[in-house]
Structure 1
Amino acid sequence: MPHSPEEKRKVLARVRRIRGQCDALERALEAGADCGPVLQQIAAIRGAVNGLMSGVLESHLREQFGQPASDPEDRHARVTEMTALIRSYLK
Protein backbone atom coordinates (compact mmCIF):
# COMPACT_ATOMS: atom_id res chain seq x y z
CA MET A 1 0.00 0.00 0.00
CA PRO A 2 1.31 3.46 -0.82
CA HIS A 3 2.36 5.17 2.37
CA SER A 4 2.35 8.87 1.57
CA PRO A 5 -0.77 10.85 0.66
CA GLU A 6 0.78 11.69 -2.73
CA GLU A 7 1.49 8.03 -3.53
CA LYS A 8 -2.01 7.08 -2.44
CA ARG A 9 -3.54 9.76 -4.68
CA LYS A 10 -1.52 8.55 -7.67
CA VAL A 11 -2.41 4.89 -7.09
CA LEU A 12 -6.11 5.67 -6.73
CA ALA A 13 -6.03 7.74 -9.93
CA ARG A 14 -4.39 4.82 -11.73
CA VAL A 15 -7.03 2.41 -10.42
CA ARG A 16 -9.77 4.74 -11.64
CA ARG A 17 -8.17 4.87 -15.11
CA ILE A 18 -8.02 1.07 -15.17
CA ARG A 19 -11.70 0.94 -14.17
CA GLY A 20 -12.45 3.27 -17.10
CA GLN A 21 -10.53 0.98 -19.45
CA CYS A 22 -12.48 -2.03 -18.16
CA ASP A 23 -15.76 -0.19 -18.62
CA ALA A 24 -14.77 0.66 -22.20
CA LEU A 25 -13.87 -2.98 -22.83
CA GLU A 26 -17.25 -4.09 -21.49
CA ARG A 27 -19.04 -1.63 -23.79
CA ALA A 28 -16.99 -2.83 -26.77
CA LEU A 29 -17.83 -6.44 -26.03
CA GLU A 30 -21.52 -5.64 -25.60
CA ALA A 31 -21.48 -3.78 -28.93
CA GLY A 32 -19.84 -6.73 -30.68
CA ALA A 33 -16.59 -4.97 -31.52
CA ASP A 34 -14.02 -6.67 -33.75
CA CYS A 35 -11.43 -8.90 -32.10
CA GLY A 36 -8.43 -6.71 -32.96
CA PRO A 37 -9.52 -3.63 -31.01
CA VAL A 38 -10.81 -5.80 -28.16
CA LEU A 39 -7.44 -7.55 -27.91
CA GLN A 40 -5.66 -4.19 -27.95
CA GLN A 41 -7.87 -2.97 -25.12
CA ILE A 42 -7.19 -6.13 -23.10
CA ALA A 43 -3.45 -5.69 -23.64
CA ALA A 44 -3.71 -2.05 -22.53
CA ILE A 45 -5.53 -3.10 -19.36
CA ARG A 46 -2.93 -5.78 -18.67
CA GLY A 47 -0.16 -3.19 -19.10
CA ALA A 48 -1.93 -0.76 -16.79
CA VAL A 49 -2.41 -3.42 -14.10
CA ASN A 50 1.23 -4.48 -14.42
CA GLY A 51 2.29 -0.86 -14.01
CA LEU A 52 0.08 -0.53 -10.93
CA MET A 53 1.52 -3.71 -9.45
CA SER A 54 5.05 -2.56 -10.18
CA GLY A 55 4.49 0.80 -8.52
CA VAL A 56 2.92 -0.63 -5.38
CA LEU A 57 5.59 -3.32 -5.17
CA GLU A 58 8.34 -0.69 -5.48
CA SER A 59 6.74 1.40 -2.74
CA HIS A 60 6.53 -1.65 -0.50
CA LEU A 61 10.15 -2.58 -1.17
CA ARG A 62 11.28 0.93 -0.28
CA GLU A 63 9.24 0.82 2.92
CA GLN A 64 10.51 -2.60 3.96
CA PHE A 65 14.16 -2.22 3.03
CA GLY A 66 14.66 1.51 3.45
CA GLN A 67 15.53 0.87 7.09
CA PRO A 68 18.01 -1.73 8.31
CA ALA A 69 16.54 -4.84 9.92
CA SER A 70 16.57 -4.86 13.71
CA ASP A 71 17.84 -8.44 13.83
CA PRO A 72 18.53 -11.43 11.54
CA GLU A 73 15.06 -12.90 12.13
CA ASP A 74 13.42 -9.65 11.06
CA ARG A 75 15.62 -9.52 7.96
CA HIS A 76 14.76 -13.13 7.10
CA ALA A 77 11.03 -12.45 7.53
CA ARG A 78 11.22 -9.40 5.24
CA VAL A 79 13.14 -11.29 2.56
CA THR A 80 10.67 -14.20 2.75
CA GLU A 81 7.73 -11.82 2.34
CA MET A 82 9.36 -10.03 -0.59
CA THR A 83 10.21 -13.33 -2.28
CA ALA A 84 6.56 -14.42 -2.05
CA LEU A 85 5.33 -11.09 -3.40
CA ILE A 86 7.75 -11.12 -6.32
CA ARG A 87 6.83 -14.71 -7.17
CA SER A 88 3.14 -13.82 -7.24
CA TYR A 89 3.92 -10.76 -9.37
CA LEU A 90 5.83 -12.83 -11.93
CA LYS A 91 3.09 -15.43 -12.38
Structure 2
Amino acid sequence: MERSCHESAPLLGRVNRIAGQVQGIGRMITENRECPDILHTISAIHAALRGLESKLLEDHVRHCVTEAAADATQLDRRMEELIALYKRRLA
Protein backbone atom coordinates (compact mmCIF):
# COMPACT_ATOMS: atom_id res chain seq x y z
CA MET A 1 0.00 0.00 0.00
CA GLU A 2 1.26 3.42 -0.88
CA ARG A 3 0.61 6.21 1.60
CA SER A 4 -0.73 9.56 0.47
CA CYS A 5 0.99 12.74 1.59
CA HIS A 6 -1.97 13.34 3.87
CA GLU A 7 -1.36 10.03 5.66
CA SER A 8 2.44 10.37 5.73
CA ALA A 9 2.63 13.84 7.27
CA PRO A 10 1.54 12.86 10.81
CA LEU A 11 3.84 9.82 10.78
CA LEU A 12 6.79 11.90 9.63
CA GLY A 13 5.98 14.46 12.31
CA ARG A 14 6.21 11.73 14.95
CA VAL A 15 9.49 10.44 13.51
CA ASN A 16 10.97 13.94 13.47
CA ARG A 17 9.99 14.51 17.11
CA ILE A 18 11.54 11.19 18.09
CA ALA A 19 14.73 12.05 16.19
CA GLY A 20 14.87 15.38 18.02
CA GLN A 21 14.51 13.63 21.36
CA VAL A 22 17.32 11.21 20.49
CA GLN A 23 19.58 14.10 19.51
CA GLY A 24 18.62 15.76 22.78
CA ILE A 25 20.02 12.80 24.69
CA GLY A 26 23.40 13.41 23.06
CA ARG A 27 23.28 17.05 24.12
CA MET A 28 22.25 16.07 27.63
CA ILE A 29 25.20 13.71 27.93
CA THR A 30 27.57 16.36 26.56
CA GLU A 31 26.21 18.83 29.11
CA ASN A 32 26.66 16.29 31.94
CA ARG A 33 22.98 16.40 32.80
CA GLU A 34 21.72 14.29 35.68
CA CYS A 35 21.08 10.62 34.93
CA PRO A 36 17.40 10.77 35.96
CA ASP A 37 16.83 13.56 33.40
CA ILE A 38 18.42 11.50 30.65
CA LEU A 39 16.52 8.37 31.68
CA HIS A 40 13.25 10.34 31.68
CA THR A 41 13.95 11.42 28.09
CA ILE A 42 14.77 7.84 27.09
CA SER A 43 11.48 6.72 28.62
CA ALA A 44 9.66 9.40 26.61
CA ILE A 45 11.33 8.13 23.44
CA HIS A 46 10.22 4.57 24.19
CA ALA A 47 6.65 5.81 24.64
CA ALA A 48 6.81 7.80 21.40
CA LEU A 49 8.13 4.77 19.51
CA ARG A 50 5.35 2.59 20.94
CA GLY A 51 2.81 5.18 19.80
CA LEU A 52 4.29 5.24 16.31
CA GLU A 53 4.36 1.45 16.22
CA SER A 54 0.73 1.30 17.32
CA LYS A 55 -0.38 3.80 14.67
CA LEU A 56 1.47 1.95 11.90
CA LEU A 57 0.00 -1.37 12.99
CA GLU A 58 -3.49 0.12 13.11
CA ASP A 59 -3.04 1.57 9.61
CA HIS A 60 -1.75 -1.77 8.35
CA VAL A 61 -4.76 -3.65 9.70
CA ARG A 62 -7.30 -1.04 8.62
CA HIS A 63 -5.95 -0.64 5.10
CA CYS A 64 -3.61 -3.43 3.94
CA VAL A 65 -5.32 -6.34 5.64
CA THR A 66 -8.81 -5.06 4.87
CA GLU A 67 -7.93 -4.54 1.19
CA ALA A 68 -6.48 -8.06 1.05
CA ALA A 69 -9.73 -9.59 2.34
CA ALA A 70 -11.09 -9.81 -1.22
CA ASP A 71 -8.28 -12.20 -2.27
CA ALA A 72 -7.69 -15.32 -0.15
CA THR A 73 -4.02 -15.62 -1.16
CA GLN A 74 -3.36 -11.97 -0.43
CA LEU A 75 -5.22 -12.25 2.87
CA ASP A 76 -3.14 -15.26 3.91
CA ARG A 77 0.04 -13.29 3.18
CA ARG A 78 -1.15 -10.32 5.23
CA MET A 79 -2.19 -12.58 8.10
CA GLU A 80 1.26 -14.21 8.09
CA GLU A 81 2.79 -10.72 8.25
CA LEU A 82 0.68 -9.89 11.29
CA ILE A 83 1.57 -13.15 13.01
CA ALA A 84 5.28 -12.60 12.34
CA LEU A 85 5.04 -9.04 13.67
CA TYR A 86 3.32 -10.25 16.80
CA LYS A 87 5.89 -12.98 17.40
CA ARG A 88 8.78 -10.52 16.95
CA ARG A 89 7.10 -8.14 19.38
CA LEU A 90 6.98 -10.88 22.02
CA ALA A 91 10.62 -11.86 21.54
Q: Do the structures match in fold with TM over 0.5? A: yes
2:71 aligns to what? 70
2:11 aligns to what? 11
How many angstroms apart in 2 are the aligned matches of 1:15 and 1:2? 18
Alignment of 1:21-32 (within 5 A): 21-32=21-32
What TM-score results when the alignment is normalised by the length of structure 1? 0.84
RMSD: 1.8
Q: Which runs of 5+ in 2 are unaligned?
A: none
Q: Is the 8 A contact 1:69 1:75 kept in 2?
A: yes
SS in 2 for 1:18: helix
How many angstroms apart in 2 are the aligned matches of 1:2 and 1:41? 33
Kindly tell me the number of residue pairs found equivalent between the two proteins.
90
How many angstroms apart in 2 are the aligned matches of 1:18 and 1:41? 10
The one-letter amino acid paired with 1:61 is V
How many angstroms apart in 2 are the aligned matches of 1:2 and 1:22? 28
Misfit runs of 4+, over 3 Å: none
What TM-score results when the alignment is normalised by the length of structure 2? 0.84
The one-letter amino acid paired with 2:71 is S
SS in 2 for 1:32: coil
Higher RCO, 1 vs 2 (CA within 8 Å, ≥6 residues apart) = 1
Structure 1 residues 33 and 50: CA distance shift in structure 2, 3 A: same
Identity across the alignment (%): 33
Q: Is the 8 A contact 2:65 2:79 kept in 1?
A: no
